[in-house]
Amino acid sequence: MSPRLLVMLMIGLSSLQVAAASKSAAADKRTAQKHAADKRVGAKAPTDWLKVELVGDADDDVARLYREQLLAWYRTSGAMDERELAALPDADYFAFRPDLTSFSIDSGESAGQWTFSPPDAGRWPGAAVQVIDRSDAQNYRILARVHCDPAAASCRKLRAETAAMSPPEPSTRDDSTSYDAWRGLIEKEACTPAPKQMPAPRYPASLARHGDGGRVELRLLVNPCGEVRAVRLSESSGYPQLDQSAITTAWGWRIQSERQESGSIVRVPVDFVPPQFETAPAGRAERASR
């Protein structure tokens, strides 16, 4: 190879190295800028199972949907008598209930699990998150649609919180690949240890008065901090009301206070012992076993 050709090759190689270094530096700068922006809004790293979309709904649209769901709940819950129910649809406003922020809608464009953000006093909710399960037998996929005013600071905060959401349980079969993928996420989920909390389920007054009781056995999937992420009825008490009371309460339990290496399946028996007096209407959760 001639000296002139060798010099030309060396110059060309040097130019390529400079261009590559410049391109890499620019990419690093863009990545750093993105990470800084994510940090400012509290976003977490992207996941392969969650897609977050912003839906710029007007406050009135979110408020209307919440009102419809709350009305439906009042009509079926038995919380009001017939006279109160008859007047409810015409009421301009009835108090927002902090214990009723989540509703499941089964069909239509609004299908999904909705969680409404608490509003200012005297107002209806103006923001909500709609979680849609798009998992199939093979893939675990969740779409979260954030309904809020994009210009509001509270909307940016809601988007960041949604991006950091815990993986919700899919509707696929327990033995499917997608369900296994979800369970793997839960068993390694990032979480903060907190005191153990297992309040007793409510003992339905009608059953307590008649001396009806029984044992409910639940099978729970918990994350490494003991937070419940899935509830299954392993053994029925024979009374649907007792079963449902135990299941509903179990969703709020924390089985352990320390963080483990991974989550696991635990079994918890819940005894509803007929009270001697009507002043003791509560079930009793026994120690969890793995």
Predicted model pTM: 0.71
Answer yes or no: is 174 within a domain.
no
Beta bridge partners of residue 284, listed in sequence order: 271
Per-residue confidence at 250, pLDDT binned at 50, 70, 90?
very high
State the CATH number of the domain containing residue 247.
3.30.2420
Q: Are 242 and 216 in contact (CB under 8 A)?
A: yes
Same-domain pairing of 56 and 163: yes
Q: Is residue 187 part of a domain?
A: no
Of the residues 143, 168, 193, the one at which a domain ends: 168
145, 252: one domain:
no
Task: Please give the residue range of the domain that contains residue 264.
Answer: 205-285
Residue 217 lies in a domain: yes
Task: Answer yes or no: do 154 and 240 share one domain.
Answer: no
- Cα(275)–Cα(200) distance, integer angstroms: 14
In a domain, 197, yes or no: no
Could you give the number of structural domains in the chain? 2
Residues 72 and 159 in one domain: yes
pLDDT tens, position by position, 66-92? 888 988 887 777 666 777 777 766 666
Give the separation between CA 237 and CA 201, rounded to whole angstroms: 14
Mean pLDDT rounded to a whole number for the chain? 81
In a domain, 177, yes or no: no
pLDDT number for residue 169: 95
Are 164 and 210 part of one and the same domain? no
Mean pLDDT, residues 113-125? 87
pLDDT confidence of residue 283: 66
146 plus 249 within the same structural domain: no
Would you tell me the crossing angle of helices 153-163 and 3-41 to the nearest 10 degrees? 110
212 and 162 within one domain: no
Q: Same domain for 164 and 248?
A: no
230 found inside a domain: yes
76 part of a folded domain: yes
Q: Tens digit of pLDDT for each residue in 179-233?
A: 999 999 999 999 999 999 999 998 888 888 888 889 999 999 999 999 999 999 9
Is residue 263 within 8 A of residue 189, CB to CB? The reply is yes
Asked if residue 279 belongs to a domain, the reply is yes
DSSP 223-249: -TT-BEEEEEEEE--S-HHHHHHHHHH
Lookup result for tokens 């005297």: 122
